[in-house]
Structure 1
Amino acid sequence: MKLLLLFLIFSSISFGDQVDEMEELILNHQDLIIFPEKLYKDGGVWLTQSMNSPFTGRVEIYADKNKQDKVLECTIVNGYKHGIFIQYVNFMNKLPGVIGLYMDDKKEGGWTTIEPLDGWLNFPVSRSTVPMKTTYIGYRDGMRDGSVRISDLLSGQYYNGKKTGIWYFFNDYENKTLWTIKHQYDEDILIDSKCREHIKGNSFDIDCNDFEMKYVGSKYVLLQLDPSIEDELKDQFNRLIITDVNGLDVEITVDDFLNHISYYHKRKVSIHKERGYSFHINDSLRTLLKNKSKY
């Protein structure tokens, strides 16, 4: 069984429902050009900079004055987003692609986000080979309600903003159609979990605590949907920046990484490869991780 290991920390997770994508874009990328005029947000309302009045019309944001590189477009009515919202994947500015519908400034229906599978940390120069992931979340009246999917990683359901029913996690990249973890939720409360591993065409039940010691569980996937639990995970897991064989700095979770190499890399010297990164596994690295470990 070869699992989709997620020891590496994602650096750009932003699926919070309260986030105004347009406001975040303007605040974090002030060099972008807004047409037909500059806008700013005050008290939840988009106002014109020239008249300080609620804006109505189509907004387009570009990375250049010649309008060749469109970054975002949406419609605003009386200062509130209303209609189709599109943010285009932009590798130069490290922006995900987003498409969905706003009704009176509330998300409605299906929203889709497309971004690099590993996030934007250490984004490679060659863009043609970058694996992408797609996240779909259903909304009703501004709340998550309906299906949620992260390509090849997760499938679940929301009701009134809370996780409900059966959620499946797919961590085995050699068996993408077979779930490895199954959660059952009732109003956001986890009431049951089952785990299994797939070895040579056969599936075996495994205790979920043993599963998370041997592999990586569901927490990292859930973090991509709920950034509010990041602080909780920070307290729970040590983070450490180590350098891979190509000189790239990569942030890892110490105990998960240590558990993995202790189980799979029993030889004194070996190479660990993960999601485009390679690491020399030797006594020096083992000693470093053990010294940083909480356990």
Structure 2
Amino acid sequence: MRSTPPPAVAERGPLAAAAEAFRLGAAQTLAGWPVLIGRCLFYVLLMVVLSGLWDKVAAERVADLARQAPVGSFVLYVGATEWITLSIPALHLKFEDDIRGGALDVHLLRPKPYLLQTISQCCGWAFVRMLALGATGLALLTVSGRAWPSPESLAFMGVLGALGAVTGVLLYALAGLGAFWARRVLPFQLIVQKLMFVLGGLFAPITLYPPVLRRVGEASPFAAHLYWAGVQAIRPSLSLFLTGLAWQALWLILLSLGCVGLWRAGVAKVLREGIG
């Protein structure tokens, strides 16, 4: 009897599993629409407060700010960075629950790669959140009477924002994988979060920083997460877009390798010592 060769689609198993996990994550977020609406309302409240702050700063006619950007652009910058930040699910907590709660043993027995599936599912959650929060932000601009960003700026922010969200997912994945060595990942998550505030330029663009700190911030994964997308609201530029794209590509590769390395080291520890 002639053996039947395995179908070619089997070779694409991990990618197919990742795509299905992404679709599942998106569907789960849509199914939890009340939570999604609550997140959008929180975004509106946050932007009302922050726009009031930046409008007050602009009213003081600070010379350096006036030279760097047109009136109202800093509000758009913060709107872009918060749009990305609020789209990121708490992946670190899922890793903590699975690793510390003993659910990891079940996942390791399955043929599909747990790490890739979990990150892909989280990206599906983030994708739907970005769409909902983006629509909320544009509606808020319309209602408030503020000028919309240019089409060029919106296109650049959309691409860099999506890649920045994936960068943020990987940063929180690194924090969550610390659960192999620590009972709680909160300290790791807080370190990542605070660095996002400072080096990522969450509330203020890092162009306002001293030169040395600015260069450090621009080269960091936290700027790849937030700053390069947000700066398109201030100065839409093809050169800045390509620069941000290059930094994001670099950090997506490095962070992915970091996640794989931590995962393998953590699984080896579990198989050797168990969860301590």
TM-score above 0.5, yes or no: no
- Specify the structure having the higher radius of gyration (Cα): 1
| Greater relative contact order structure (CA < 8 Å, 6+ sep) | 2
Q: Specify which structure has the higher proportion of helix.
A: 2
| TM-score (norm: length of structure 2) | 0.24
Which one has the bigger strand percentage?
1
